Structure 1
Amino acid sequence: MSHRVADALGYKDMDNISAASSRHNSENLPYVHKVGVPPKQNLLKEIAGTLKETFFADDPLRQFKDQPRSRKLVLVFQALFPIFEWGRNYSLSKFKGDLIAGLTIASLCIPQDIGYAKLANLDPQYGLYSSFVPPLIYAFMGSSRDIAIGPVAVVSLLLGTLLQNEIDPSENPVDYLRLAFTATFFAGITQFTLGFFRLGFLIDFLSHAAIVGFMAGAAITIALQQLKGLLGIKKFTKKTDIVSVMRSVWSAAHHGWNWETILIGMSFLAFLLVAKYIGKKKKKLFWVPAIAPLISVVLSTFFVYITRADKHGVQIVKHIRRGINPSSLNEIFFSGEYLAKGFRIGVLAGMIALTEAVAIGRTFASMKDYQLDGNKEMVALGTMNVVGSMTSCYVATGSFSRSAVNYMAGCNTAVSNIVMSSVVLLTLELITPLFKYTPNAILASIIISAVISLVDIEAMTLIWKVDKFDFVACMGAFFGVVFSSVEIGLLIAVSISFAKILLQVTRPRTAVLGKIPRTTVYRNILQYPAATKVPGILIVRVDSAIYFSNSNYVKERILRWLADEEEQLKESSRPGVQYLIVEMSPVTDIDTSGIHAMEELFRSLEKRDVKLVLANPGPAVVDKLHASKFHEMIGEDRIFLTVEDAIVTCAPKMDLEP
């Protein structure tokens, strides 16, 4: 046998192998492999390796190895600004696709931005500002080819709700606007910090189920908020829960509804929904729902202007400030009572915006089969929001509806964002006065048609089928948003997600294993009814690392398995259990509490005259078992490479067949 095989089996030299082989041959037993002990690592190297795997699993520095200093500077610059990397291979054919995509998403974003700004209780121009500067910054720093940047409905609603809880926008519009810029600044700082320090894994604590429920609840809330514009109601509740909104709607039914507004809103809402249906049924007609909002704005504005419907109670936009983004650096609260409030709101809005953008970016990256650098995305999103807060923008992120249109329109690179930004610039400089007679009902219709897709019934159904606990998280977030508020729904979503993590950590699964006939494979007897138990031996598998949080439970659960097994054997008048084998292949790690629990398990089994055997412990577990001298407590001959090896060794000692 070669030395390589010897090393793999854990033997120090060939003499040990010869001795082991001779011993097993003399006893006429199949050869049993020993469990290898990994070499002892330097403490500093072990810590460095753990940190590297946690924060630098993608090894971002590998491209800098063996490179001259000048080349390293170029690579650093390209890492910060990916446009200078892919831009070298940019061509006219790619620009054609980006131009069409950019123009298409611009036609969608302009009416949406005006409506989303109203969701945030801001003047319409701030929505347009947020689709001018942030997309330009992202185009230079972002790594996604398909994501379209700008204000989005959920973040706009969240920001508007949290801001108006602190300052009434109608009574103090100046400080409200300043607080919005402050929140945007800290949203960007939060995103940048998470990316720079490679802490993006924190957003993964918000589960997919919780996000689905939160988004659906937010969509319902946003749609309900649009009833004010759709029905022409002047006095409307500032609360977002469904009970308050419906009470406000019905209380205004006798004198607050305007039939002209309802006619305009419902007609164009039907038009938008039909356009969306056409685009969904025929992918080649993706441009129909993309340009439908702009067509609706143009037609409704023209209709209101020629009929002077604004004189008959139809509410209109009235005025959008002309010109590009003014500086807002001096408007940000860097001190005073609103600093802490802006920080709190910004962190929350930044995390939600980041979660949405990363999810969208990953979705389209997988569809086009390219890698998305999550930490680089966070740095790009954070930078654009920090710069945006200084240029009269509020929180911007990736929009799913616009990104989907961008993808279907044939975008090739982030240049489509530059094209969109250029169109918004022209709009701000030349076209904004034309939006004066745009009815609010149209903006409400556009927002309702946009957020309907956030209610993902198919995803909810799948969550119900796959994991009932996930469904509880989904519904908790949904009802929390709909019946209380956006922040309460988010809190419920996070709380249930953490509760699930704690439950899985503190109560890991265990299973009794049996042997699959005519094989050396041992599987869960509940999953495989054909699997049979080995007489006199109980095999238990622990499906989790053993830590302080679950060590006592694991010990007690194993003892309960043993008690149940002995009770069954006693009832059938069969011999009791002599060996308890713990299958440890799923046990990736163990701490001192876990080892202490194993010691207690060993002592409990000794009192019952049952021998403890371990099978297939991993390298981290073996290392800690040896460091704690646990292997000496149970004996070196009680730790095996596989369950089969343990059975082969234990069964003859009981005068049983293997």
Structure 2
Amino acid sequence: MTSVIKRRLRKIVGIDENAPPVVSVSDWISQNERGVLPAVTAYVRSLFPFIEWLPRYNLTWLVSDLVAGITVGMVLVPQSLSYAVLANLPSEYGLYASFIGVLTYAFFATSKDVSIGPVAVMSLQTGIVVNSVVDKLGDKYTKPQIAVCLAFICGFIVLAIGLLRVGWIVEFIPQPAVSGFMTGSAINIAAGQVPAMLGLAKRLNTRAPTYDVIINTLRNLPNCTLDAGFGIPALVTLYGIKWGMQWLGNKYPRYSRATFFAGTFRHAFVIIIFTIISWRVNSGYATPRIALVGMVPSGLRAIGQPRITSELIGAMGGDLPVSTIILLLEHISIAKSFGRLNGYKINPNQELIAIGVNNTLGSLFGAYPSTGSFSRSALKSKSGVRTPAAGIATGVVVIIALYAVAPAFYFIPNAALSALIIHAVADLVASPKQSFAFWRVSPLEYIIFVGAVLWSIFYSIESGIYWSLATSVVLLLVRLARPKGHFLGRVRIQPENPEYGGPRDVYVSLEGDKGAIMDVNVEPPPPGVIIYRFEESFLYPNASYINDRIVEYVKAHTRRGKDYSQISAGDRPWNDPGPKNGDEAEQEVQRTRPLARAVILDFTAVANIDTTGVQNLIDTKKEVEKWADRRVDFHFCGILSPWTRRALVAGGFGQGKRRDGTNLEIAPVVKHGGDVSSPQTNMRDRSYEASGSNTPVNDEDSESYKQEKKSQDSSETDLEAGRGVEATAGSGRNSQHTVPLILDACPMFHIDLSDALASIDLSRHT
């Protein structure tokens, strides 16, 4: 009954009864069919990665996680205080964001190394949003309320992206764009913190473009205050400890671990030392002599429902895209980097869920937006962290700082915090070696990198992000719409070691790209044969371009089928006048060229083909045959997707008259165990040996031919080209059989270029 319905449907839509069988939608559904309950169960389990590693937690992991967690906590506390100032918020809000971030991430993370919390770039963006909303709405909302609302909205967006499993969108942004944005942002942040480090913050507008801030800072150097006496020594001390510990570790390797941990505590050490000095300098004065952090209330004072209104969301609406992009982009890039470094893979969607939960839940504790930190993640990794549970130890350190040490934060100099920020963001600036590597790999991506840096410096961070995104998308579209592709010729390779076999043919570009293959004579295809290899999928953005390339190449290397010298100018087509009657040179060139015989298209790199691609391929065939004034065969090789084969068959390709005596459309596939059911199709005149050898043997003398012929006579099922045969389950026998990969109904489809060339009848009139 089903077969009758299929035949009627094929007749209704105009499909030939003898057309080759192709993959169907029902085949796709059956191959991808999964039970609903197992899929839901797997999805829910993936939301809580700790279920996989927590039952195996042991004492060794605990010790390593405690060391790493406490180490990161000692760095996180002073950094969070300084980053809160960068976000234009009271210092305690940096601690609020630090506490909730590291705790929630431990339960949702797929990366053991990433440390969640306030970061420089996101803090700067938060400060920009806070100032923007204040400028629009005045004092109707407090700055912490604005920042907390921003955390909730951005976190909710990122959480939705992760839950819907569309985190792959971040893959559209290349690494040079991310590096350029981070470099420009780091320079922007450092330039904005230098005035505070020198005591010039009240004299300058640090919200101006970076180049303007740098110029005004240099102009006001004579006006430095006592704050510079804290800021500059703090910065020198930070770098002195860092470089000193690195030197000692290299000179005395046996103490390298001790020097590493000594270097990691430089942030806490500098803050403690300069806080004590500040306390002594300011004691006895009613008004502090330098800018201080001020009173930091103990405990979690901002717990409660965040204030989220449509008015507030509307006021920050223009900044939400940039803020969300920073939130997810910085985190994913860091997580992937440390995953590659330490030999494990992260789940981008789950990482987005982690930071989404972190920010939405953190808004209940007064946290402003936070994401992964590069410097703290590097520290966590080097400290020997074993699992994400190290974040719990870090959270305990933050809680202790909030409840036990908060009153001591009053005397922390703002200049020292600015020095700490400058020291932290300096690691985000791409080194000259790294930027030169971008140039060597891809000059176009290097332009994206440089552009992102310049836009961030001379305009704003938002413009740097938009430049990175826009140019990355444009570059992707250009590469898709203008694929290079190659017209191929043959090179014969002789292996130096006879054990690797005898000579073999490889196909390389005829166009002689500089630096590709030097001093190698590439043999062109037989006269009238064109071989073209795709570099991209054949889709609507590039279909017309590829069509033009193939047609132009055919016209440049083959002659017309019609002799225009005998046709008067009045009888020639208006759009194709041909050579002038008196142009003997052009006519001689035309006579020496061969007629077009065949076009071979290498589809190895073609993962997808759409309707526009098929239509342009049909147009290409028509134009080539019109030029040649004869039938020109189109052969295809390297088709990997059954849907690509289905599309080509629907366009009328693949079918045609096979050259008599050819056998190269059959490739051996060895099946082990059981009887086989072969496709009901005419077999080639020859087959390959059942052992898998490439040596042809006579069909009548081969055991495989007899077995397949027997199976063919008894088979009732038509299988799709390329699917081969299926072994009968449960037979228990261990046998080998040769089966066809290409059906006889599709003689223009081939396994590789050698098969395609061998199938062309070179005896046709040239």
In the other structure, the counterpart of 2:428 is 454
Distance 2:274 2:657 in 1: 82
| Counterpart check, 1:308 vs 2:282 | yes
| Counterpart check, 1:428 vs 2:402 | yes
User: In the alignment, is the contact (CA less than 8 A) between 2:558 and 2:593 conserved in 1?
Assistant: no
Shift of 1:98: 1.1
Distance 1:632 1:414 in 2: 58
Q: Secondary structure at the match of 1:521?
A: strand
User: In the alignment, is the contact (CA less than 8 A) between 2:119 and 2:372 conserved in 1?
Assistant: yes
| Counterpart check, 1:534 vs 2:525 | yes
User: In the alignment, is the contact (CA less than 8 A) between 1:182 and 1:342 conserved in 2?
Assistant: no
In the other structure, the counterpart of 2:536 is 544
Q: What code does the residue aligned with 1:205 have?
A: F
Structure having the larger proportion of residues in helix: 1
Which protein shows a greater Rg?
Answer: 2
User: In the alignment, is the contact (CA less than 8 A) between 1:353 and 1:397 conserved in 2?
Assistant: yes
| Counterpart check, 1:89 vs 2:74 | no
Distance 1:424 1:266 in 2: 27
In the other structure, the counterpart of 1:587 is 606
Q: 1:491 to 1:230 in 2, by over 3 A?
A: same
| Counterpart check, 1:555 vs 2:521 | no
Q: Secondary structure at the match of 1:514?
A: strand
Distance 2:477 2:31 in 1: 26
User: In the alignment, is the contact (CA less than 8 A) between 1:230 and 1:444 conserved in 2?
Assistant: yes
> 2:294 aligned to 318, 325, 335, which one?
318
| Counterpart check, 1:523 vs 2:508 | yes
In the other structure, the counterpart of 1:178 is 145
User: In the alignment, is the contact (CA less than 8 A) between 1:183 and 1:343 conserved in 2?
Assistant: no
- Which aligned pairs between 1:194-273 and structure 2 lie closer than 5 A? 194-233=161-200, 234-255=202-223, 257-258=224-225, 260-273=226-239
> 1:642 aligned to 742, 749, 752, which one?
752
- Which aligned pairs between 1:399-410 and structure 2 lie closer than 5 A? 399-410=373-384
Distance 1:641 1:274 in 2: 64
User: In the alignment, is the contact (CA less than 8 A) between 1:327 and 1:390 conserved in 2?
Assistant: yes
> 1:152 aligned to 108, 119, 124, which one?
119
Q: 1:603 to 1:355 in 2, by over 3 A?
A: same
Q: 1:170 to 1:312 in 2, by over 3 A?
A: farther
User: In the alignment, is the contact (CA less than 8 A) between 2:300 and 2:365 conserved in 1?
Assistant: no
Distance 2:31 2:425 in 1: 45
Shift of 1:175: 3.1
User: In the alignment, is the contact (CA less than 8 A) between 2:192 and 2:210 conserved in 1?
Assistant: no
- Which aligned pairs between 1:575-654 and structure 2 lie closer than 5 A? 575-609=594-628, 611-616=632-637, 617-618=639-640, 619-631=642-654, 637-650=747-760, 652-654=762-764
Shift of 1:468: 0.7
Deviations 1:236-294 (A, max 9, x none): 21424223212432453444x21x32232111211111333345564633323321111
Deviations 1:78-114 (A, max 9, x none): 5433334322222222211111111111111111101
Q: What code does the residue aligned with 2:509 have?
A: N
| Counterpart check, 1:389 vs 2:360 | no
User: In the alignment, is the contact (CA less than 8 A) between 2:489 and 2:525 conserved in 1?
Assistant: yes
Shift of 1:321: 1.9
Q: 1:208 to 1:449 in 2, by over 3 A?
A: same
Shift of 1:325: 4.5
Shift of 1:353: 1.8
> Structure 2 stretches of 5 or more lacking a match?
1-18, 250-255, 493-502, 560-585, 659-745
| Counterpart check, 1:41 vs 2:8 | no
TM-score (norm 1): 0.85
User: In the alignment, is the contact (CA less than 8 A) between 1:109 and 1:402 conserved in 2?
Assistant: yes
Q: Secondary structure at the match of 2:505?
A: coil
Q: What code does the residue aligned with 2:303 have?
A: S
> Structure 1 stretches of 5 or more lacking a match?
1-35, 53-58, 66-71
User: In the alignment, is the contact (CA less than 8 A) between 2:172 and 2:473 conserved in 1?
Assistant: yes
Distance 2:21 2:443 in 1: 41
Distance 1:121 1:290 in 2: 27
In the other structure, the counterpart of 1:13 is none
Q: What code does the residue aligned with 1:532 have?
A: E
In the other structure, the counterpart of 2:731 is none
Q: Secondary structure at the match of 1:81?
A: coil
| Counterpart check, 1:372 vs 2:353 | no
User: In the alignment, is the contact (CA less than 8 A) between 1:157 and 1:222 conserved in 2?
Assistant: yes
Q: What code does the residue aligned with 1:166 have?
A: V
Q: Which has the higher contact order (CA 8 A, sep 6+)?
A: 1
Deviations 1:398-419 (A, max 9, x none): 1111111111111111221111
> 1:294 aligned to 245, 268, 293, which one?
268
- Which aligned pairs between 1:111-190 and structure 2 lie closer than 5 A? 111-168=78-135, 172=139, 174-190=141-157
Q: 1:37 to 1:447 in 2, by over 3 A?
A: farther
Deviations 1:507-566 (A, max 9, x none): 112111001125332222323443210231221212111112111111001122223334
Q: Secondary structure at the match of 1:149?
A: strand
Deviations 1:168-214 (A, max 9, x none): 49963843322211110011111111110001001112211100000
Q: Secondary structure at the match of 1:131?
A: helix
Distance 2:140 2:76 in 1: 25
User: In the alignment, is the contact (CA less than 8 A) between 1:163 and 1:345 conserved in 2?
Assistant: no
Distance 1:232 1:373 in 2: 45
TM-score (norm 2): 0.73
Shift of 1:312: 7.4
Distance 1:241 1:47 in 2: 56
Shift of 1:463: 0.9
Distance 1:119 1:41 in 2: 58
Q: What code does the residue aligned with 2:302 have?
A: P
Q: What code does the residue aligned with 1:388 have?
A: G
Measured on the aligned residues, the alpha-carbon RMSD in Å equals 2.9
Q: What code does the residue aligned with 2:439 have?
A: W
User: In the alignment, is the contact (CA less than 8 A) between 1:322 and 1:430 conserved in 2?
Assistant: yes
In the other structure, the counterpart of 1:505 is 480
Q: Secondary structure at the match of 1:469?
A: helix
Distance 1:638 1:410 in 2: 59
Report sequence identity in percent. Answer: 26
User: In the alignment, is the contact (CA less than 8 A) between 1:300 and 1:439 conserved in 2?
Assistant: yes
Deviations 1:462-500 (A, max 9, x none): 111000111111111111111111111100000000001
Matched pairs, number: 601
Q: Secondary structure at the match of 2:159?
A: helix
Shift of 1:42: 2.4
Q: Secondary structure at the match of 2:533?
A: strand
Q: What code does the residue aligned with 1:644 have?
A: S
Moved more, 571-580 or 198-207: 571-580
User: In the alignment, is the contact (CA less than 8 A) between 1:588 and 1:620 conserved in 2?
Assistant: no
Q: Secondary structure at the match of 1:358?
A: helix
In the other structure, the counterpart of 1:463 is 438
Moved more, 639-648 or 91-100: 639-648
Q: Secondary structure at the match of 2:75?
A: helix
Distance 2:48 2:532 in 1: 53
Shift of 1:621: 2.0
